[in-house]
Structure 1
Amino acid sequence: MTTLEKAKAILEKINAKDIAVYEFKEKSPFYDYFIVGTVNERAGNAAISYFNSELQSEIKHVEGKKNTSWVLIDLGDVVVHLFSESDREFYGFDKRFMEIKKR
């Protein structure tokens, strides 16, 4: 199972909503995929715990660890962005990446 598949499985396990995967293989030298999901604060904290237990060796950095409406989990080639519903709409990640290939 790839890092991308493992990350998606974790997000499904915590019941993240509107999971979207954007491919950047041809567009960025830093990462291959963004995964964007909508979570509440509790699920965001649970996601960090699951990623720490299941992909700890692949985690490069975690931003927004506690009580925030945005969490970033850097897994190297895969970067996970978890937003509250209102922040996801406000920051418009999905609109920004409409021209990017969605998986």
Structure 2
Amino acid sequence: MLTKQLVENIIKGIQEKKGKSIVNLDITQLEQSIADNFIICHGDSNTQVDAIADSVEAFVKKELHERPLHKEGTQNSQWILLDYGMVIVHIFQKEYRDFYNLEGLWADAKIQTIEESK
């Protein structure tokens, strides 16, 4: 599976459910990086966070026939993590995104801001 295609389909899934403040962190050049990319976004409610995660899974399964290797956070939907190996998707509620500040923790990464769907 090509990382670029995976990233594109993840972003489409997020945009489909109007995920907010979408960023792609390229962490390939960082020492001891655990993946190639982190895709981060947030939703306004538990329901939206769940819907975004479901949409990402649906897009990736339909287009690339892949499922996440690991999935966490679906019990409370404050922070859902979808692990696709070299790409890890973080879908937060806004307050938890601000609190954990992954963009700040990985500030040395190359950060690409993705346009939200209209």
State the distance in 2 between where 1:55 and 1:73 align. 11
Aligned to 1:76: 85
CA shift at 1:29, angstroms? 5.4
Q: TM-score, normalised by structure 1?
A: 0.87
Give 3-state SS (helix, strand or coil) of 1:81's partner.
strand
- Paired position in structure 1 for 2:105: 96
Runs of 4+ in 1 over 4 A off after TM superposition: none
Give the percent of matched residue pairs that are identical in Structure 1 and Structure 2. 22
- CA RMSD in angstroms, aligned pairs only: 1.7
Matched, 1:61 2:66: no
> Scaled by the length of structure 2, what TM-score is found?
0.77
C-alpha distance in 1 between matches for 2:33 and 2:102: 19
Specify the alignment match of 2:54 in structure 1: 49
CA deviation map 1:65-91 (0-9, x unaligned): 133210000111110001111111111
1:102 partner SS: strand
Structure 2 partner of 1:33:
37
Residue 19 of structure 2 corresponds to residue 12 of structure 1: no
Q: Which protein has greater RCO, CA pairs closer than 8 Å, 6+ apart?
A: 2
Task: Answer whether contact 1:21 1:33 (CA < 8 A) is retained.
Answer: yes
Distance 2:33 2:78 in 1: 28
- Rounded Cα–Cα distance in structure 1 between residues aligned with 2:41 and 2:107: 15
Maintained 8 Å contact 1:45/1:66? no
Unmatched segments (≥5 aa) in structure 2: 113-118
Q: How many residues align?
A: 103
1:6-27 CA deviation, whole Å, 9 max, x = no partner? 0011111110100111001122
